Amino acid sequence: MNHILDTLLVILLLSCFLLLGTSRLAAAVRMTAVQGFMIGLLPLAIEGGEIRLRVAILAALIAVLKAGVFPWLLMRTVRSAGTTHEERPLVGYGLSTLLGVAAVGAAFWLDSRLPFSAEAHSKLVVPVAFSVMATGLFLMVARRTAICQVLGYLTLENGIYIFGLAIVSGIPMLVELGVLMDMFVAVFVMGIAIFRISREFDHIDAAQLTSLKG
Amino acid sequence: MNFWQTILPVLAALLLAPLLPGVIARVKAAVAGRRGPPLCQLYFDLWKLLRKGAVYSRTTTWVFRAAPGIALAALLCALPLLPAPGADALVSCSGSMFILIGLLALARFATVAAALDTGSSFEGMGGSREVQFAALAEPAVLLALAALARASGTCALGGMFAGTVGPLWQTAAPAVGLLAVALGIVLLAENCRIPFDDPNTHLELTMIHEVMVLDYGGPDLAFILYGAALKLWVFGTLLVNLLVPWQDAARPLAGTGVLIVGLVAVAIAIGLIESALARLRLLKVPQLLLGAGALAGLGLLLIVRL
Amino acid sequence: MVPSFYLYFALALPALLALATLLRLSPAAQLRLLAFGTAGVALGALPAVIRVWAGCDEIVAAQGWLRLDALGALHVLLLLAVFVPAAVYARRYFGVEIAAGEFSAGAARRFAALWFGALAMMLLVLLANNLGIMWVGVEATTLLTAFLICTHRTAGSLEAMWKYLLMCSVGVAVAFMGILLIAAATRHTGMPATSALLWTNLMATQGKLDPALVKAGFLFLVVGFGTKAGLAPMHNWLPDAHSQAPSPVSAVFSGCLLNSALYCILRCLPLAEGVSGNTGWARGVLVALGLLSMLVAAGLLLAQRDLKRLLAYSSVEHIGVMALGVGLGGLGAFAAMLHMLGHALAKPLGFFCAGTIGQAYGTHDLRRIGGVVRQAPPWGIGLVLSLLALIGMAPGVLFLSELLVLKAAVEQQAWWTVGLYLAALAVAFIAVLRRAIALGWDSSAPPPERPSAAAAGADAWLLTILPLVLLSVLGLLLPMGLAELLLRAAMIVGGAL
């Protein structure tokens, strides 16, 4: 059992709860930054003793992007959009947190029915990956502001990345870099999109984008 | 020998519990740059109150008069259920964790019933808040204890900690950490400390616990104050037992010493927390308690899986 | 010349053109660059396609990471057949806006850059031999095309863009999950990680893959890429994006974007089938999704009051037909390839005409457009005839392909499929025909606000008549060469005659 790895994973879970429980956009963005940093450290924790250069580069890249560039971009969007709080979420924060715990439970159950954990580095990796993914999807559905939805997308991606770490030992570097690049562009594009939406509508409440129907 | 090592913690609780609020007050005063009240202030208060007579409002009934006694009795009954680090409890039966929760609930029920009995809207409000928060805090404690019960294979508080916590810190440190944080949050909430409630506040609208006991005086108030100190001792003991995996078969009596030192440390920590934090808005309290429940639940899940 | 050079060339050309658009050009010059550049890309990519068409099994480049086989060649061919007319049409479409002063140089530059970028990424999807690279391409097209939707910055287009971005990004994220599962399935094949995700290697070692993981991965990939392909029930973004985008973009969305996402699913299909022991499990998934898409789209077609949304839901229906055809396999797969060809000819035509008529009338509301056959001759005739072609009127390629899908279903005695398929086709037929008649000959509707926008010209006649002629001629007699290419493409996904 790898103590550092487990601690990282538990912090990841906690960051999910905090994401679910906060209404302040800036705090949520910071929480995603923490999550990104933990994600960056994960490959190092999994490698344990000897750390290969490739893994180190990847870890550094991920940490810089997810804990530095993305939060910076999103923080700028938060400031320029002039919204500080998520108002009127579709699901309240208390209930969201409880659902988060339920999701963790479900993730453990799901993991016990799937064969991945047997070969994973820690029994926690796969359930944590599932919970993080569920948190991301939930945020995208249950929050109204465009920023929270982007945060949800980022969290979903983080979950998928953890899952990838758990079950795949080596996806080629080229693909990993491509994925990372796409993530970067995705957040960048979404940031610009939020900016445009907020300029057009004077708000970033994506729930009011409902004129197109049928 | 075994008898002494189990009865010593109880005696210590009876004698030293009123010391803890004094420690907290001194720490807060020191941080704020004041001298603060003497460490033994609560002993003086209790002595003073016990010598006074009691005045009862004519609208109250026997419920009001019985409540302080019931609450104190419940807490006194809870003391023998708790072990010192590395030792067994004086009364150790299967399922004593549920008895502990039940006794705490009984004490709370008595206080809330008395508050409602006064017919005052302030006290009713305090009672309603107390119950609302307790309803959220209790599951958190239960989940945390359930996690330990799962790890130790027993529901007796006595056997739950000794010999279990130590190995658990080695195999599932993150999980135990979560439980400790959850218990810590509940400790603050249950004992009306900042950030949940300000024991020194003088504004009835924002009080939770204090507002319920506004109508008491004399020996009744002494019972209530002593009971509050014991409650802090009870939760503190749980926390110390969880945090200190101390076990030394050669010197079982030293467990009580460890317990007292640990409790003083907990009191100092509470004092520091109270100095650093502001009271939460009442609307935010349930959220924090839910968070504690979430942490405890997560800890339970981790322990179940590992 | 070394064949692999063709592939590099086909990929590099649009990327270079995307850079070229950053030059400071006037909007009209940008649009000229767009049209000629796209034609240039087509000329650059055609040699590779023709080589494969002429009988070469596959062209491989970059140590196997790029590869063009018959299935890819067919898709590249259709991609070019949509992109080139769309670029030509974009000149006309935005020309009207330039005349009205609504299209700035900056907007033109952005549009052209994104256009070539999207073209390059779609080509990458079709040429990539690696599952991961393919995923990168699909995600990149999502991001690049998002801003093409809101070329005109209106509330509606922003909403459509946001929906598109969010839904397709999640979809593509789900697809990545599927890729991870398939990568996990290769653990015991003994292949090095760098080459395990190459399609050719996956297919070669399918006996050693973990079937459960591949099945799970296939489901994730179908849901993920299916979102991008507009398969119901993940199609919600599609009508909004298609109706709010400028018409040349709508045409590209319908004719290329959906196909390239479906192409990814088609690549997975033989793998999932092979690994699960050819039990028809993976095909069943496609049949179910195809039928569901057809039924949902047919129902929603009935309620449409917006011309471009009508065309968009028709795309959902046609993607459903393709999925169904491939799912049926055998003759059905061949029919699906033929259907893809017909759809790539008819749907862009529909969007071109709808765009111009929308500009002339100032609306896409079906209740306020009518009698277009007389009011705006080439475009009106093109619109009505393309709608008729899309609902499978004979003679037309789509009639033939839908008939062949039906034949495949009947041969397999899948009576439920036959029943639902015919029901969906019938509902769609009635829904669209009703609108088409009113559009073409209802003289009670008000005349166009800006008739000059729909002026006839040589390019107008060429853009409308050429696809119509191709549609009907190919429906009547399919040249042997083309049929052979379709068949070879179909055989890759398990087709036969």
What span, in angstroms and rounded, lies between the C-alpha atoms of B10 and A213? 70
Q: What is the value of ipTM here, to two decimals?
A: 0.88
Q: How many CA atoms lie within 13 A of C162 on its CB side?
A: 31
Angle between helices A173-201 and A70-81 (to 10 degrees): 0
Average pLDDT on C223-230 reads: 94
User: Which residues, including other chains, have CB under 8 Å from residue B280's CB and lie 6 or more apart?
Assistant: B195, B196, B288
B267-285 tens-digit pLDDT: 999 999 999 988 888 888 8
| Residue-level pLDDT at A150 | 87
What span, in angstroms and rounded, lies between the C-alpha atoms of C277 and A81? 54
Average pLDDT on C293-321 reads: 94
Asked if residue C132 has pLDDT above 60, the reply is yes
Asked if residue A87 has pLDDT above 90, the reply is no
Q: How many CB pairs under 8 A join A and B?
A: 54
C130 beta partners: C198
Residue reference for tokens 């946001």: C162
**Residue A97 and residue B291: Cβ atoms within 8 Å?**
yes
In chain B, where are the structural domains located? 2-305
Average pLDDT on C236-259 reads: 94
**Dihedral (CA of B147, B149, B152, B153) sign:** negative
Is residue A121 one of the residues assigned to a domain?
A: yes
In terms of pLDDT, which residue wins out, A61 or C78?
C78
CA of A181: which chain C residue's CA is closest? C136
From residue C156, alpha-carbon distances to A23, B162, C93, C301 in Å are 28, 66, 19, 20
Decide if C222 contacts C269 (C-beta within 8 A).
Answer: no
How many other CB atoms are there within 10 angstroms of residue C154's CB atom? Answer: 12
| Residue-level pLDDT at C495 | 77
**Residue B301 and residue A93: Cβ atoms within 8 Å?**
no
Chain mean pLDDT for chain C: 91
Is residue A211 one of the residues assigned to a domain?
A: no
Chain mean pLDDT for chain B: 89
What span, in angstroms and rounded, lies between the C-alpha atoms of A129 and A121? 13
What span, in angstroms and rounded, lies between the C-alpha atoms of C491 and C270? 10
**Does A157 lie at the interface with C, CB-CB under 8 angstroms?**
yes
| Residue-level pLDDT at B18 | 95
Chain mean pLDDT for chain A: 82
Average pLDDT on B212-220 reads: 89
Q: How many CA atoms lie within 13 A of B6 on its CB side?
A: 15
**Band of residue C299 on the pLDDT scale cut at 50, 70, 90:** very high
**Residue A179 and residue C135: Cβ atoms within 8 Å?**
yes
User: Which residues, including other chains, have CB under 8 Å from residue B290's CB and lie 6 or more apart?
Assistant: A21, A94, A97, A98, B136
In terms of pLDDT, which residue wins out, C258 or C2?
C258
Asked if residue A192 has pLDDT above 80, the reply is no
| 3 state SS for A109-136 | HHHHHCCCHHHCCCCCHHHHHHHHHHHH
Name the token pair of B22: 């004094």
Name the token pair of A109: 């159950």
In terms of pLDDT, which residue wins out, A62 or B252?
A62
| Residue-level pLDDT at A201 | 66
Average pLDDT on C453-474 reads: 88
| Residue-level pLDDT at A48 | 67
Decide if A67 contacts A40 (C-beta within 8 A).
Answer: yes
Is residue A75 one of the residues assigned to a domain?
A: yes
| Residue-level pLDDT at A193 | 75
Q: Which residues of C fall within a CB distance of 8 Å from A115?
A: 212
Decide if B254 contacts B262 (C-beta within 8 A).
Answer: no
Average pLDDT on C270-283 reads: 90
Asked if residue B223 has pLDDT above 90, the reply is yes
| Residue-level pLDDT at A1 | 47
**Residue C136 and residue A182: Cβ atoms within 8 Å?**
yes
Is residue A60 one of the residues assigned to a domain?
A: yes
C98-115 tens-digit pLDDT: 888 888 888 899 899 999
Decide if C347 contacts C255 (C-beta within 8 A).
Answer: yes
Q: Closest to C303 (Cβ–Cβ): which among A146, A212, A214?
A: A214
Decide if C262 contacts C225 (C-beta within 8 A).
Answer: yes
Decide if C479 contacts C392 (C-beta within 8 A).
Answer: no
Burial category of A213 from C-beta neighbours within 10 Å (exposed 0-12, middle 13-18, buried 19 and up): exposed
Q: Which residues of C fall within a CB distance of 8 Å from A212?
A: 156, 159-160, 163, 239-240, 243-244
CA of B306: which chain A residue's CA is closest? A123
| 3 state SS for chain C | CCHHHHHHHHHHHHHHHHHHCCCCCCHHHHHHHHHHHHHHHHHHHHHHHHHHHCCCCCEEEHHHCEEECHHHHHHHHHHHHHHHHHHHHHHHHHHHHHHCCCCCHHHHHHHHHHHHHHHHHHHHHHHECEHHHHHHHHHHHHHHHHHHHCCCCCHHHHHHHHHHHHHHHHHHHHHHHHHHHHHHHCHHHCCCHHHHCEHHHHHHCHHHCCHHHHHHHHHHHHHHHHHHHCCCCCCCHHHHHHHHCCHHHHHHHHHHHHHHHHHHHHHHHHHHHHHCCCCCHHHHHHHHHHHHHHHHHHHHHHCCCEHHHHHHHHHHHHHHHHHHHHHHCEHHHHHHHHHHHHHHHHHHHHHHHHHHHHHHHCCCEHHHCCCHHHHCHHHHHHHHHHHHHHCCCCCCHHHHHHHHHHHHHHHCCCHHHHHHHHHHHHHHHHHHHHHHHHHHHCCCCCCCCCHHHHCCCHHHHHHHHHHHHHHHHHHHCCCHHHHHHHHHHHHHCCECC
Q: Closest to A193 (Cβ–Cβ): which among C133, C161, C244?
A: C161
Decide if A88 contacts A16 (C-beta within 8 A).
Answer: no
**Residue B287 and residue A93: Cβ atoms within 8 Å?**
yes
**Residue B298 and residue A13: Cβ atoms within 8 Å?**
yes
| Residue-level pLDDT at B183 | 94
Q: Closest to A169 (Cβ–Cβ): which among C133, C140, C193?
A: C193
Give the pTM. 0.85
B15 beta partners: none
Average pLDDT on C87-101 reads: 90
What span, in angstroms and rounded, lies between the C-alpha atoms of A78 and A89? 17
| Residue-level pLDDT at C2 | 66
Which domain covers residue A145, as residue numbers? 3-204
What span, in angstroms and rounded, lies between the C-alpha atoms of B147 and B126? 32
DSSP code of residue A145:
B
DSSP code of residue A24:
B
Q: Which residues 203-242 of C are in CB contact (within 8 Å) with A?
A: 212, 239-240
Number of domains in chain A: 1
Average pLDDT on C84-94 reads: 93
Distance from CA of B155 to the nearest CA of A (A): 22
Is residue A62 one of the residues assigned to a domain?
A: yes
C399-448 tens-digit pLDDT: 999 999 999 999 999 999 999 999 999 999 999 999 999 998 888 888 88
Decide if A86 contacts A145 (C-beta within 8 A).
Answer: yes
The CA-CA-CA angle for residues B240, B12, B44, to 5°, reads 110
Distance from CA of A197 to the nearest CA of C (A): 6
